[in-house]
Structure 1
Amino acid sequence: MRERGRTRRLLGLGARTGGALMRTRMGGQADWRALGEALFEGLSELKGPAMKLAQIMSQWDDLLPPDLAEELSRLQRQAEPMPWEGIRRTLVDEYGDLDAVFSEIEQRPFASASMGQVHRATTLGGETLVLKVQYPGLVDVLESDLAQVRRLMRLGRWLKVPQARLDALFEELAVSLRGELDYHAEAEALARYRRRYAHLDSLVIPEPLPELSGPRVLAMRYEPGTPLRELEAGDDDLRQKVAKTLVDWITEELFTHGELHADPHAGNFAVNDRGQLVLYDLGAVIPVPESRLRAMLQLLEATLAKDPLAMDEAVLKLGGRQGQGAPLSLYRESAEAVEPLFRPGEQAFGDVRVHRRLRELSPKVWAAMDRLQPPANTLLLSRTLNGHYWNLVRLGARLDMQARTRPLLEWAKG
C-alpha cells in the first residue's frame, strides 16, 4: 500500500510539471513558483530518487526558470527531516540497545538529504560523532521510485532533449543512487580520500568509524563547520582561501587520480573555525578516464579560441551532436560568454555580466537541443563541474583561470 501511495504522489507531481511545460509550449504562462512549492513539499516528504533528481536540477541555475530553481534549491538546505521514530528503528536494528553504545543521540538531524539524514551522537566514552542513517524502507522502494522517475524524465522530450540523452541521464542517476545506498563503499571512499589528500592542510575529510558502521548506518568523527552557502556575505579573505582550496582539490582529483566527488551541492561543504574546507558525503564518487579529460580540454581550448568549427569537432569527439547542422552561432555566443573568466589575471566569478549572458543563452540552448545533443557519457561530469562553478560564484571567487588551465591544455596535447 505504501509503495502504491508513493507512486500516486510521484505521478501527480509529474502531471503537474507536465501541465506547466505544456502551457509554456503553447505560449502561455506557467506559475513556476507554485510548481516549485508543490515539488518541494511533495519531494521533501517522499525523499529518494525523485528528490535527488530535483536537487540535481536545482544546480542548473542558468537553465531553469528562476522561481522554480529557487524553490527546488530549498531541497538542499530545508528539506523536512524524517520523524525520529523511523530513524530510531534503523539505529536499534544496527546497534541493539542504544544506551549501551551512546550517552546521547540528537533526535533532530543537522542535515537531511535525499537518501538519508545525519544525527550527532555522543559515545559512552564522551566522543562526539555523527551517524548518517539511511531512510527506512528505501532499499525496498528504490527500483519502483526509479521507474517513476524515468516516466518523469520523459517530460524532457518536450524541451527537445533527445530520448537517448534522457536515457543516459537516467542510467547515470540510477547507478549513482544505488551506489549511495552502499555505506561500506562510502566508508572506503572516506578512508581513501583521507590518505590521498593528507598533504592538503586546507582540506578536512571526516574519519569513518568502521567498528560503529553497518549497511544502513555510517559513523564518522564529527567535523563541525559553517555551511558553504552561509559564507556568501562573510570575510572576503576567507572566501578566497576556500575557493582556492576547492579548485586545487578538484584539479588534483581529476588530473592526478582520475576520480571526482560527484555531489557538488553546497550542503556537502563547510568551513571550520581554522578556515579549512570540510568535505562531507562521499556517497557519489565517479571515475573520470584520461581520454575524456583530454577531449573536454580540447573543447575548452576551441572555446577560448572562439573557433566554432573546432568547438563542433570537439563536441563530436566527445560523442555529442549526432544530428545535422552544427549550431555555429550558438557555439560563438557560448565562447563569448565564457571567455571573460579565462582572461589574464584574477577574474571574478561573481561577475553578473557573465551570469546574465549565460542565462540569456539558455533558451537558445534548449531551442537547439535537437542538434546540440550533450555527450551521454559526460552528463554527470558536466553537471558536477557546473555545480562547482556555482559554488565558486557563491564564494565570490577571484581566480586566475588562465594560469590554472594553461598547463592542463598543454598536458592534453601530449
Structure 2
Amino acid sequence: MRERGRTRRLMGLGARTGGALLKTRLGGQADWRALGEALFEGLSELKGPAMKLAQMMSQWDDLLPPDLADELARLQRQAEPMPWPRIHEALVLQYGDIHKYFTEIEERPFASASMGQVHKAVTLEGETVVLKVQYPGLADVLESDLKQVRRIIGLGRWFKVSQARLDALFEELAAGLRDELDYQAEANALARYRERYQSDSRIIIPKPLFELSGQHVLAMSYVPGTPLRELEGADDTVRQKVATTLADWITQELFTHGELHADPHAGNFAADEQSRLIIYDFGAVIAVPEARIEAMMHLLSATLDHDPMAMDDALVNLGGRQGQGAPLALYRETAESVSPLFEPGEQDFSDVRVHRRLRELSPKVWAAMDRLQPPADTLLLSRALNGHYWNLVRLKARLDMHARTAPLFECVARR
C-alpha cells in the first residue's frame, strides 16, 4: 500500500510538471512558483530518487525559471526530516539493541537529504560520532520510484532533447542512486580520501568507523563546522580562504587523481573554526578519464579564443553536437559571457552581470537543442562542475582563473 501511494503521488507531481512545461511550450505563462512549492512539499516528504533529481535540477539555476529554481533550492537546505520512529526502525535493523553501542542518539537530525539523514550519537566509550541513516524501505521502493523519474525526465523531449540523451541522463542518475545506497563503498571512499589528503592541512575529512557501519547506517567521526550555505554572510577572509581551498581541491581531483566529487550539494561542505574545508559526504565520486578532461579543456580554450568554429569542433569531439549547421552566433554569445571570468587578475564569482548573461542565454540554448545536445557520457560530470561553480558563487569567491588555467592548458598540450 505504501509503495502504491508513493507511485500515485509521484505520478501526480509528474503530471503537474508536464502541464507547466506544456503550457510554456504552447506560448503560455506557467506559475513556476506554485509548481515549485508543490514539488518542495511533495518531494520533501517522499524523499528518494525524485527528490534527488529535483536537487540536481536546482543546481542548474542558470537554466531554470528563477521562481522554480528558488523553490527547488529549498530542498537542499529545508527538506523536512523523516520522523524519528521511522529512523529508529533503521537503527534497530542495523544494530538490534541500540543501547549495546550508544548511550545517546539525538532524535533531531542536523542534516537531512534525499536518501538519508544524519544524527549525532555518543558511543559507550563516550566518543561523539555521527550516523548517516538510510531511510527505511528506500532500497525496496527505489526501482519503482525510478520508473516515475524516467517518465518525468522524458518530458525533456518537448525541449528537443534527444531520447538517447534522456536515456543517458536517466541511466547515470539511476546508477548514482544505486551507488548511494552502498554505504560500504562510501566508507571506503572516506578512507581513501582521508589518506589522499592527510598532508593537506586545509582539508578535513571525517574518519569512517567501520565497526559501527553496515548496510543501513554509515558511522563516522564528528567534525563540527559551519555549513557552506551559511558562510555567505561570513567574514570575507574566511570565505576567500574556503573558496581557494575548494577551487584547489577540485583542480587537484581532476588533473592529478582523475576523479571528482559528484554531489556538490552545499550541505556536503563546511568550514571549521580555522577556515579549513570540511567534506562530509562521499556517496557520489566519479572517475574522469584523461581524454575527457583534454576534450573539455579544448572546448574552454576555443571559448576563450572566441573561435566559434573551434568551439563547434570541440563539441563534436565531446559528442555534444548533432545535425547540420552550427549555431555560430550562440557560440559567440557564449564566449562573450564566459570569457570575463578568465580575464587576467582576480574575478568576482558573485558578479551578477555574468550570471545575468548566462541566464539570458538559456532560452537560446533550449531553442538550439536540436543541434546542441548534452554529451551523453558527461552529464553527471557537467552537473557536478556546475554545482561546484555555484558553491564558489555562494562564497563570493575572487579567483584569478587566468593564472589557474594557464598551467592546465600547458599540461594538456604536453600530453
TM bin (shorter chain): over 0.9
User: What amino acid is the match of 2:381?
Assistant: L
Match of 1:75 in 2: 75
User: What amino acid is the match of 2:5?
Assistant: G
1:18 matched to 2:15: no
1:361-402: CA deviation from partner (whole Å, max 9, x where unpaired): 011011111111111111111111111111111111000101
Offset at 1:162?
1.4
Offset at 1:198?
1.1
User: What amino acid is the match of 1:162?
Assistant: S
Offset at 1:357?
0.4
Offset at 1:160?
1.5
Offset at 1:101?
1.3
Match of 2:271 in 1: 271
**Distance (Å, rounded) in 2 between the aligned partners of 1:302 and 1:199:** 36
Q: Which runs of 5+ in 1 are unaligned?
A: none
Offset at 1:274?
1.5
Match of 2:62 in 1: 62
User: What amino acid is the match of 1:52?
Assistant: K
Give the match's secondary structure for 1:376. Answer: coil
Q: What is the 5 A alignment of 1:2-401?
A: 2-401=2-401
**Distance (Å, rounded) in 2 between the aligned partners of 1:227 and 1:374:** 31
Offset at 1:93?
1.6
**TM-score (structure 1 length as normaliser):** 0.99
1:330-376: CA deviation from partner (whole Å, max 9, x where unpaired): 11100000000000011110111101100100110111111111111
User: What amino acid is the match of 1:239?
Assistant: R
Offset at 1:44?
0.6
**Distance (Å, rounded) in 1 between the aligned partners of 2:319 and 2:44:** 35
Q: Which runs of 5+ in 2 are unaligned?
A: none
Give the match's secondary structure for 2:260. Answer: strand
Give the match's secondary structure for 2:167. Answer: helix
Offset at 1:259?
0.7
Offset at 1:315?
0.4
Offset at 1:279?
0.4
**Distance (Å, rounded) in 2 between the aligned partners of 1:178 and 1:97:** 28
**Distance (Å, rounded) in 1 between the aligned partners of 2:199 and 2:61:** 34
Moved more, 55-64 or 20-29: 20-29
Match of 1:413 in 2: 413
Offset at 1:222?
0.4
Structure 1 stretches of 4+ moved >4 Å: none
Offset at 1:276?
0.7
**How many pairs were matched up?**
414
**Distance (Å, rounded) in 2 between the aligned partners of 1:185 and 1:25:** 42
**Distance (Å, rounded) in 2 between the aligned partners of 1:320 and 1:136:** 39
Offset at 1:89?
1.2
**Distance (Å, rounded) in 2 between the aligned partners of 1:241 and 1:344:** 20
User: What amino acid is the match of 1:160?
Assistant: K
**Distance (Å, rounded) in 2 between the aligned partners of 1:85 and 1:76:** 23
Q: Give the root-mean-square deviation of aligned CA atoms.
A: 0.7
